[in-house]
A and B are shown apart, each in its own frame.
Chain A
């Protein structure tokens, strides 16, 4: 039986190429790539067979051509949207955390602020976006403000839930150490809330991008939202598709970055315990 052990070694260990090893290990990515290529091929083929006009529904090759047509121009607009999104996200996280701590510790804030937030959230942001453009102009501030309005709500709701869901027994334990309220917050309540806070952050990063695009739709000379509207006005549908593609990549990337930070910040957490086997 002992002679069998070397034979059972995975063959990848013999491979020298790190790319090959990575390729074999990242099954999720591999699956996605193969799947994408299949879909794109089918799409390209359908477009050429049916002869559908590009301004109605462009083929992948046309979208790609538009993508590399003027990379600097597209990159500048992308950078604008990314800046607005990240600024809004940062404000949502910081402000959201401060507000949720206030809501958790103060009954008054809970009854006033929290209720106001819920009511505010019920308003469709697209409906009030024109007002912000009217009040603070078409510069980046109005996009940031709309994006914050959209993304702060999940941040606050999730953080409040997290900060509240601390085991009373843990607080009892800390009380027997004669801990101060500040110690209890930093050593118990806050780390205990981290999983919920990160859940809120993941929703907030996606919604920040949505809010930014909404802001750009309503009034802007910059950003991917502007690119989409302008190109649509010119019947340049391939460019609309190109902008949407960039948006979807951006959204995925930003979500993944938050997810990565989450893993680094909470190696102990349930949701990460067995993931490394799968990726």
Chain B
């Protein structure tokens, strides 16, 4: 079953299990010091994220999923264990990585285009060469005509699209997304889910996606890592074997419901109730 080719067979996408490991987490351990004593945020996390895989971290708030992403992004130091990207231990943020947060983090004083070009300025890359690709990217996200507008002139969904463009500009092989659609309304969220799937199938990026929506995780992912809290840990990894491209209507299909019931059962067993 694991070796099956996926339904979008035209491009010859192979199931994740045959791909080389992109990110390897081994015995990752993280504690915070606080006034009430040490907080055990992550406990013995072992996870292989394979190249071109769409992996979701799903769990209730406080289960350490954001912490895990931040450790992987090099924004926080781990207290034990190791994080490897392409077989090398990371020291700080890995190269060739894009990141999208729940809040768009667009700079108010820059236009959409200037915001998308921001990473290049930090990396001291020639901006002129990237203007065309940036505009093309904005085009695919329906933002071409908003390129010279300021963030405040845009809706929440458009802003988050711009943030995704910013993360994709340098064509990173690894994309980290920390509840990117969590603050959006349901309809915008659905649309962006479908857009994200399209980007992923077209570009074969490795995506680590954080969400607390069971449906969103199942709809998008090749695998869902279900997390539990106190201490934060991965409880189970569920492989989602639904055909691609997945549609919003699929959420009512028996297979989809079977997956969501399965995930829900895990949370119920753990005593966590989640939407």
A176 touches B121 (CB 8 A): no
A172: B residues at CB distance < 8 A: 70, 75, 101
The closest CB in chain A to the CB of B95 belongs to A178
- Are B101's CB and A169's CB within 8 A? yes
Shortest CB distance A168–B (Å): 10
- B128-170 contact mask (Cβ, 8 Å, vs A): 1 or 0: 0000000000000000000000111000000000000000000
A187–B121 touching, CB < 8 Å: yes
Max chain A C-beta neighbours (<10 A), residue from B73, B109, B150, B152:
B109
15 sampled A-B residue pairs with Cβ under 8 A: A167-B103, A172-B70, A172-B75, A175-B75, A175-B92, A176-B73, A177-B118, A177-B119, A177-B122, A178-B93, A183-B121, A191-B109, A192-B108, A268-B150, A268-B151
Given contacts A175-B75, A176-B73, A266 and B109 within 8 Å (CB-CB): yes
Q: Does A40 contact B (CB under 8 A)?
A: no
Q: B residues within 8 A CB of A192?
A: 107-109
Q: Given contacts A175-B75, A178-B92, A268-B150, are A183 and B108 in contact (CB under 8 A)?
A: no
Contact residue among B92, B101, B122 (Cβ-Cβ distance under 8 Å from A174): B122
The 7 nearest A-B residue pairs measured at CB: A177-B122, A179-B122, A176-B93, A268-B150, A191-B109, A268-B109, A173-B105
- Determine how close the nearest CB of chain B comes to the CB of A271; give it in whole angstroms: 12
Q: Mark A244-279, 1 if CB is under 8 A from B, else 0.
A: 000000000000000000000011111001000000
CA A173 to CA B74, docked complex, whole Å: 11
Known: A169-B101, A173-B99, A270-B152. A178 touches B123 (CB 8 A): yes
- Name which residue of chain B comes closest to A273, CB basis: B152
Taking CB as reference atom, which chain A residue is nearest B120? Answer: A177
Q: Which residues of A contact B (CB under 8 A)?
A: 167, 169-170, 172-179, 183, 187-188, 191-192, 194, 266-270, 273
Q: Which residues 87-110 in B have Cβ within 8 Å of A in the complex?
A: 92-93, 97, 99, 101, 103, 105, 107-110
- Give the distance in Å from the alpha carbon of A172 to the alpha carbon of B75 in the complex: 7
Tell me whether chain A's interface is mostly helix, strand or loop, or mixed: helix
Inter-subunit contact A173/B101 (CB<8 Å)? yes
Inter-chain CA distance A183–B107, complex, in Å, is 14
Most buried by A among B103, B118, B121, B122: B122
Question: Which residues of chain B are within 8 angstroms of A266 by Cβ–Cβ distance?
Answer: 109
Kindly list chain B residues whose C-beta atoms are within 8 Å of the C-beta of A268.
108-110, 150-152
Kindly list chain A residues whose C-beta atoms are within 8 Å of the C-beta of B101: 169, 172-173
Question: Which residues of B are found within 8 Å of A174, using beta-carbon distances?
Answer: 122
- Whether A167 contacts B105 by the Cβ 8 Å rule is yes
State the Cβ distance, A193 to closest chain B Cβ, in Å. Answer: 11
Residue of A nearest to B92 (CB): A178
Please measure, in the bound complex, the distance between the C-alpha atom of A178 and the C-alpha atom of B170, giving whole angstroms.
14
Closest chain-B Cβ to A223's Cβ sits at a distance in Å of 39
What are the residues of chain A within 8 A of B152 when measuring CB–CB?
268, 270, 273
Across the interface, B103 reaches (CB within 8 A) one of A169, A191, A270, A273, namely A169
* Given known A-B contacts A173-B105, A176-B73, A178-B93, A187 and B118 have beta carbons under 8 A apart: yes
Known: A173-B99, A191-B109, A270-B152. 11 other contacts (CB 8 A): A169-B101, A172-B75, A173-B101, A175-B75, A175-B92, A176-B97, A177-B93, A192-B107, A268-B108, A268-B152, A269-B109
Q: Are B109 and A178 in contact (CB under 8 A)?
A: no
Bound complex: CA A187 to CA B118 (Å): 9
* A270, closest chain B residue (CB): B152
A166 to chain B, nearest CB (A): 11
- Looking at the assembled complex, report how far the CB atom of B124 sits from the nearest CB atom of chain A, in whole angstroms: 9
Contact B123 A177 (CB under 8 A): yes
Least distance between A242 CB and chain B CB atoms (Å):
43
For the complex, what is the distance from the CA of A176 to the CA of B73, rounded to whole Å?
7
Contacts of A267 in B (CB 8 A): 150
Chain A: CB-nearest residue to B101: A169
In the complex, what residues of A have CB within 8 A of residue B121's CB?
Answer: 183, 187
Chain B residues with CB under 8 A of A269: 108-109
Docked complex Cα distance between A175 and B75 (Å)? 7
Report the minimum CB–CB distance from A186 to chain B (whole Å).
10
Q: A183-B122, A273-B152 are in contact. Are A175 and B105 (CB under 8 A)?
A: no
CB closest residue in chain A, given B119: A177
Query: Nearest residue in B to A194 (C-beta to C-beta)?
Result: B109
Please indicate the chain B residues that have their CB under 8 angstroms from the CB of A178 in the complex.
92-93, 122-123
Among residues 56 to 79 in chain B, which have CB atoms less than 8 Å away from a CB atom of chain A? 70, 73-75
C-alpha spacing A179/B152, complex, angstroms: 25
Shortest B30–chain A CB gap in Å is 16
Which residues in A have their C-beta under 8 angstroms from that of B70? 172
